[in-house]
Amino acid sequence: MFKRFKRNAAANRLIEERLYEEALAEIESGKLRVGLWAKALANSSGDEGKSRGLYLKYRVQSMIDEAEIEQAVSERVEEEILRPKRTKREYGKASDGIDWG
């Protein structure tokens, strides 16, 4: 169990490294998320250098959040697809099979 935890932690660190790389590429290309950049500027009192560092941190968290949301939506869709469909008639029946509707 501990070994699996260590592997997961290592995998998460590698994923995070790639996310930072992607966020840095956004800064270098000038294709920033305006809201996150504004937040970084506000939280660094306008210091451009500090803003870059904060932007990286905020953008990586944003990418992690986006992945979590996508996973939750995917699980919900899968759940809806795999859930057996009930007919209108089944909704009106009690567990004893009597149609009370």
Helix, strand, coil share (%) of the chain residues, nearest 5: 75, 0, 20
Q: Tell me: the pLDDT tens digits for 5-29?
A: 778 899 999 999 999 999 999 999 9
Pair 23, 59: CB distance under 8 Å? yes
pTM score, whole prediction: 0.71
Rounded Cα distance between 15 and 6, Å, is 14
Q: Could you give phi then psi for residue 99, rounded to 5 degrees? A: -80, 105
Tracing tokens 């567990």 back to the chain, one arrives at 95
Of the chain, the end-to-end C-alpha distance in Å amounts to 51
Two structure tokens written together for 11 = 């995998």
